[in-house]
Amino acid sequence: MGNLPLEVKVEIPNGISYTQPTGLFINNEFVYPKDKKTFEDISPATEEVITEVYEAKEEDIDIAVDAAIEAYKTWSVSKPELRQKVLLKLADLIDENAELLSSIETYDNGKSLQNSKGDIALAAAYFRSCAGWCDKITGNVINTGGQHFNYTQRVPLVCGQIIPWNFPILMLSWKLGPVLATGSTTVLKSAEQTPLSALYIAKLLAEAGMPKGVVNIVSGFGKIAGAAIASHMKLDKVAFTGSTLVGKTIMKAAAESNLKKVTLELGGKSPNIVFDDADLDESIQHIITGIFYNSGEVCCAGSRVLIQSGIYDKVVAKLKKAAEAIKVGNPFDPDTFMGAQVSEVQMSKILQYIESGKEQGAKVISGGKRGDAKGYFVQPTIFGDVEGHMKIAKEEIFGPVVTLIKFDTVEEAIELANDTEYGLAAGIHSSDVNKCIGVANKINAGTIWVNTYNDFHPMVPFGGFHSSGIGREMGEEVFNEYTQTKAVRIKLNTSRF
């Protein structure tokens, strides 16, 4: 404890070696936490310790929040051109370091290198998109007639942000993009399972010319550093991505402290519907990537596949073949699609769900077991004969496990799709665009993908209905979440003119 240098050499199994920061990033510097406590960071594919990193506690969060408050004084009134320049430079630096960043992500999270590369490209694209918004976030003039002049301003916020472990860099980009674009400042906590890439991005933020204190990044645990952020009296907002359970805790902490603004991007149990008239091979592809992308650790995973009865047997046979062809294993192998689950805890949780599916009478069509190799691997698992009451049909598993459910009519598909406490996403596969739009209108979810799945774009907002969350990320909507409106109403005296 306390002997760990502020940067260490890390050798990634694919042969890349680099210098990894380990401290807390506050005021553009890596610093020790007050009590110099560290924690171990484990590689899920090898089960070995990659390095230790320093852990933020309550008093460190206070220091980071003070840095964000101080930086707010100038950053919140900075020229949009400056913010744009920082965002564009950051996006370029991410592209230039894409190979290293995706390797760090794969080593730390266990996800396949293929998947990491996709994340890094999306993160750079999102920062670039936010750069374009810097000079377009404006107020209004409101004409109320008579002797008054009214205008509104968009006032940025001092934020706290808590991100999950499934897409460390991508989720960081969804959080930091709007902070930088609006003139807000932040303290961001990475997930304890995956602290490395956020600290590396911190280095790039300083290199991109971001003034000190605008973005502060800390590693630490949810119940300590995360809770300190959610309940902090000096923060204007907390933004969280993670489980619905923790989201509720965060909202409660925000309410009981200073009623800070809250945005939550939470869990899901998203339906992916295939109608008889769908292009089968295309649909199979989207069902497979819908659930097995990122080893199923995706909040909007299409984990409930609803199949129309006329094509049920055909779809099941094709899905089985496609799932069995997925390469699971060494995440650095360019052909691997599914790497390891993030942790032993997560893997055990998934395996327990698989056991409960078997016990409750669902039929294993493919997979159903832990992988053979060392590391936290789970086989891509498909369950048939699933009934609505089963745990695997209701609860979010957050792993490579999909349930297949048969339906007859369009009305039945809509009813099954909406039979969930969540409402993050849904997929619809059919060659009849009228049917697709009609069904999309009736499904209660924040994102509906038609003849595609897990298909993101920076301009398209993302977020949930019901227990899947509050607020939206990306698109134009997110900038409302990172500003509050100030209305100025002036009583004029124009009688002299």
- The binding site for ligand ADP (CB under 6 A) comprises 162-164, 189, 191-192, 221-223, 226-227, 230, 242-243, 246, 249-250
Please measure the distance between the N-terminal and C-terminal CA atoms of the chain and give it in whole angstroms. Answer: 74
Euclidean distance between CA atoms 256 and 10, whole angstroms: 42
3 state SS for the chain: CCCCCCEEEEECCCCCEEEEECCEEECCEEECCCCCCEEEEEECCCCEEEEEEECCCHHHHHHHHHHHHHHHHHHCCCCHHHHHHHHHHHHHHHHHCHHHHHHHHHHHHCCCHHHHHHHHHHHHHHHHHHHHHHHHCCCCEECCCCCEEEEEEEEECEEEEECCCCCHHHHHHHHHHHHHHHCCEEEEECCCCCCHHHHHHHHHHHHCCCCCCCEEEECCCHHHHHHHHHCCCCCCEEEEECCHHHHHHHHHHHHHCCCCEEEEECCCCCEEEECCCCCHHHHHHHHHHHHHHHHHCCCCCCCEEEEEHHHHHHHHHHHHHHHHCCCECCCCCCCCCECCCCCHHHHHHHHHHHHHHHHCCCEEEECCCECCCCCCCECCEEEECCCCCCHHHHCCCCCCEEEEEEECCHHHHHHHHCCCCCCCEEEEECCCHHHHHHHHHHCCCCEEEECCCCCCCCCCCECCCHHHEECCECCCCHHHHCEEEEEEEEECCCCCC
Q: Name the residue nearer to ligand ADP (CB basis): 91 or 217.
A: 217
Determine which one of 105, 265, 297, 481 is catalytic. 265
Q: Please answer whether residues 401 and 430 qualify as being in contact, where contact means their C-beta atoms are separated by less than 8 angstroms.
A: no
Q: Tell me, yes or no, if 81 is annotated catalytic.
A: no
CA distances from 454 to 10, 288, 364 (A): 32, 11, 25
Compute the least distance from the CB of residue 105 to ligand ADP, in Å. 16
Compute the least distance from the CB of residue 424 to ligand ADP, in Å. 14
Q: Name the residue nearer to ligand ADP (CB basis): 248 or 369.
A: 248
Q: Tell me, yes or no, if 134 is annotated catalytic.
A: no
Q: Name the residue nearer to ligand ADP (CB basis): 242 or 331.
A: 242
Compute the least distance from the CB of residue 230 to ligand ADP, in Å. 5
Q: Name the residue nearer to ligand ADP (CB basis): 89 or 175.
A: 175
Determine which one of 134, 159, 299, 300 is catalytic. 299
Q: Name the residue nearer to ligand ADP (CB basis): 23 or 160.
A: 160
Q: Name the residue nearer to ligand ADP (CB basis): 250 or 311.
A: 250
- Across 408-418, b (16+ Cβ under 10 Å) vs e yields eebeebbebbb
Q: Name the residue nearer to ligand ADP (CB basis): 196 or 365.
A: 196
Q: Name the residue nearer to ligand ADP (CB basis): 223 or 442.
A: 223
Compute the least distance from the CB of residue 50 to ligand ADP, in Å. 18
Q: Please answer whether residues 380 and 323 qualify as being in contact, where contact means their C-beta atoms are separated by less than 8 angstroms.
A: yes
For residue 339, give the nearest of 300, 305, 297 by alpha carbon: 297
Q: Name the residue nearer to ligand ADP (CB basis): 75 or 200.
A: 200
Compute the least distance from the CB of residue 179 to ligand ADP, in Å. 17
Compute the least distance from the CB of residue 226 to ligand ADP, in Å. 2
The one-letter amino acid code at 190 reads S
Question: Among all residues, which ones are annotated catalytic?
Answer: 265, 299
